[in-house]
Chains A and B, each alone.
Chain A
Amino acid sequence: MTTTLATRPPAAASPARRTDTRGGRVRRTLYWIATHALAVALSLMFIGPLVFVALTALMTDDQALTGELWPDSWNWGNFAEVFARSHLLGWLGNTFMYAGLGTLFMLLSSVPVAYAMARFRFRGRKLAFLAVITMMMLPPQVIAVPVYLIWARFELTGTLWPLILPMLLGDAFSIFLLRQFLITIPREYTEAARVDGCSDFRTLVRVILPMARPAIAAVALFQFFYCWNDYYGPLLYAQINEENWTLSLGLASFRALHSVQWNLTMAATLLVMAPVIIVFFFAQRVFIEGVTLTGVKG
C-alpha cells in the first residue's frame, strides 16, 4: 500500500481510449497537450517564488530596491556578507542540536510505544490510540502557559531544552504514524518469533525494526524537518537569549536587525532553505511514502 505511488500507473483512464477513429485521436492529443501545458504553468507558479528569491539574493543593494527582476551583476559576495553580518553559523549549530537530539530522543521513546500500541492486546488499546490523535491535534498554544511555568521552575527557559527533553516522552504524531505502519505487518511474524522463544524486545529489534525501516526513516525525517522549521517553540523559549537562537528565529529578525536591503534578506532566506531542499532531493521517496501513511486508513 505504501509503494503505490511509485509503481502504479494513473487510475483515471481517458474514456476516449476505445474509440480509435481519427476524431478520437485528435481529441486525445489535444487533451494531452492541455493537461501538460497546465502542469507546466503550475510548475512555474510553484518554482517561480524560489527563482525570484535567488535572483534577488544576487543583486547589488541598490538594484534590489528597484523592483527589477534580473540582476545586472552577479554578487555572490552577498552570501559572505550574510555570514559576516549575522550569527548564521551559531544559529545553524543550535538548529542542528535541536533537530538532531529531538529526532534521536523521539525515536528512542516513540518506537517502543507505537509497537506496544500496534501489537499488544490489552483493554483500552483503542482509547490509547484515540488519545494519541487528540494530543497530536492539540494546538501547542493551548498548554503554553503551564508548560512554560514547568520549565521556568527548572530554570531552562532561554534554552532549547524545553523543546528537546519532552521528546524523551514520545511524540504523538510520530507514534501515530509508526502505529499506522506497524499495524500492517502481519501478526504471523511476531507470533513466529514468540514461538521461537524471542523476548518482546528481541522481536522488536530483530523482526519489526528491519521491516519498519521505511516508516522509521519517514518519522525521523518528519521530526527533523519539524524541528528545523519550528518557529513557535524557539520563539517561546529561546527568543530572550540570542545565544540560543535557531535559524528560524534569526531569519525572522534578520530584516529588522541587520539590514533594510532585500538582497541580503533573500540571501539569508536562501541559505536557510538550501539544506532542506538538498535533503529532500536525496530522500524524496521516504517523504512521499510517509505522507500517504498519514491518511485515514486504520
Chain B
Amino acid sequence: MSVTHAAPPPRARREGRKALLWMSPWLIGFAVFFVYPLVATAYFSFHRYDLFTLEFTGLDNYRYFFHDDRAWISIRNTLWLVVFMVPAQVLFGLAVAQLLTRLKAGAGFFRTVFYLPSLVPLVAGTVSFVFLMNPSGPLNQIIEFFGIAAPDWFGDRDWAKPGLTLLAMWGIGNTMMIFLAALLDVPKHLYEAAAIDGAGGWRQFRSITLPMISPVLMFSTVTGVIYALQYFTQAMIASRVAAGVTDSPGSSFVPGYPEMSTLTLPQWLFHAGFRDFSMGYACVLALLLFAASMIFTLVLLRQFRAFTDDEGGNR
C-alpha cells in the first residue's frame, strides 16, 4: 500500500503534523521517562550523590564497581537466572502448550488451570512458595514420603535459586499461551502430509513444528532474558520472608538471604541507591543493566522490524 513514496504530497505532511499532535502525550512521556533519565543516569554515574550533596568524582564509582564483591555476586546470580531459569520456563511452556494441543477432552479446562497461577500476585505467590517449601512444609513432606532427602530450599544457598525457578515454572501461563497460539497456527495439512510420508511424532516436531514456531520461540526466549535481567520482586520477597525481616530505608539488612544467593543485579542497584543512598554508584549499575538489556532488546527490534509493514515510509 505504499503509494506515497515520491515527494511527500500535502496529505502526508498534514498527517505527519496530526500524528505529532496525537502522539504528543507519549512523546513527552518518552522524553521525561526515558531520554532524560538515561542522560541523567550517565551524568550521576560520575558523581557522588546522596540526595543532598552532588560532588564530581570522575571515574571513582566505576573503579569502586570493580572492587565491589557484592556487585559481582549479583551479576553472577542474574546470569544464573538467564542460563537456567529462562530455558526452564521456555521449554516447560512449550511442552505444556504442546500437550494442550493433543488433548481431545477438556482442553479448555486444562488451559485455564495451567494459566491461572501466572495471575497470582507476585508477592502472594512468592510468600506461598516460601511456606510450601519450608523444611517442614507440604512439598518436603511429599518428597520425604518417597524416601528422598529434601533440601531446605529458601534457607540453603545452593537451593534458593532452583526454588525460585520452580516458582517461575509455576507461572508460565503467558509463555504457554503464546506458544499455544503459534502451535494452533501451524497448517494442519503439513502434519498430514508428513504422516503419509511416514514421519513419526518426534520427526514431525523437529521438521515442521520447530521451524514454524521459531519466531515465537525466539520472541519468548528474548523477552524471557530481558525479564530475567529485571528479576527483583520474587528474589527480594523470598529472601526477606525466609529470613523473617522487613525492608525499610535505613534498615541494615542486606538482601540476598541466604548468603547472597538470591541477590540479583537490580536488587543490588536498588539497595545501593535507595537504602545506602549511594545514588551515583547505583547509576553505574543502572548503566550496566541498561547495556545488558539493550543487547537483547535490539534482537527483538530486528525481529519486529522484519514483521512491520513499510506503510508511510520509514526513516
Chain A contact residues, CB within 8 Å of chain B:
4-5, 8, 10-15, 32, 35-36, 38-39, 42-43, 45-50, 52-53, 56, 65-67, 69, 109-110, 112-113, 115-117, 120-135, 137-150, 152, 166, 168-170, 175, 183, 187, 200, 225, 228-229, 231-232, 235-236, 239-240, 247-248, 251-257, 260, 262, 265-266, 269, 272-273, 276-277, 280, 284, 287-288, 291-292, 294-298
Contacts and interface: CB of A to CB of B under 8 A. Distances in A.
Contacts of A53: 128, 131-132
Give the interface centre of B8, B37, B136, B247 by most chain A CB atoms within 10 Å.
Answer: B37
Contacts of B187: 11
Contacts of A288: 111, 115, 177
Contacts of A187: 1
B114 interface: yes
B84 interface: no
30 contacts: A11-B185, A39-B103, A42-B110, A43-B110, A43-B113, A67-B136, A109-B26, A113-B26, A122-B19, A122-B312, A133-B301, A134-B34, A134-B297, A137-B297, A139-B266, A141-B266, A143-B34, A144-B269, A145-B273, A146-B40, A169-B25, A169-B28, A169-B29, A225-B119, A229-B123, A266-B128, A287-B115, A296-B216, A296-B307, A297-B307
B120 interface: yes
Contact of B102 (A12, A112, A117, A134): A12
A124 B119 contact: no
Interface string B94-117: 001011111111110011111111
Contacts of A287: 115, 119
Contacts of B122: 229, 231, 248
Given A49-B117, A231-B237, A120 B19 contact: yes
Contacts of A112: 22, 25
Nearest to A135: B34
Contacts of B11: 121
Contacts of B16: 120, 122-123
A142 B19 contact: no
A52 B8 CA distance: 65
A294 B216 CA distance: 10
B178 interface: yes
A11 B191 contact: yes
A232 B72 CA distance: 22
* 3 closest residue pairs by CB, A with B: A169-B29, A298-B307, A67-B136
Contact of B15 (A69, A122, A229, A269): A122
B26 A256 contact: no
- Secondary structure type dominating chain A contacts: helix
Contacts of A292: 177-178, 181
B310 interface: yes
A75 to B, nearest CB: 17
Contacts of A120: 15-16, 18-19, 22, 312
A36 B110 CA distance: 10
Interface in B1-45: 1, 4, 8, 11-12, 15-16, 18-20, 22-23, 25-26, 28-30, 32-34, 36-38, 40-41, 44
A235 B247 contact: yes
A145 B41 contact: yes
A113 to B, nearest CB: 4
Contacts of B180: 5
Interface residues of B, number: 135
Given A169-B33, A225-B119, A232-B233, A272 B124 contact: yes
B191 A116 contact: no
Contact of A142 (B15, B96, B110, B286): B286
Contacts of B240: 252, 256
Contacts of A150: 32
Contacts of A50: 117, 120, 128
- Secondary structure type dominating chain B contacts: helix
B300 interface: yes
Given A113-B22, A142-B293, A294-B178, A13 B41 contact: no
Contacts of B58: none
B304 A276 contact: no
Interface stretch (B63-71, B152-160, B224-232): B224-232
Nearest to B229: A139
A2 B296 CA distance: 27
Given A144-B269, A255-B241, A200 B274 contact: no
A127 B266 contact: no
B310 A126 contact: yes
A11 B138 CA distance: 38
A273 B34 contact: no
B91 interface: no
Contacts of B219: 295-296
A124 B19 CA distance: 10
Given A10-B103, A11-B101, A129-B304, A121 B15 contact: yes
B210 interface: no
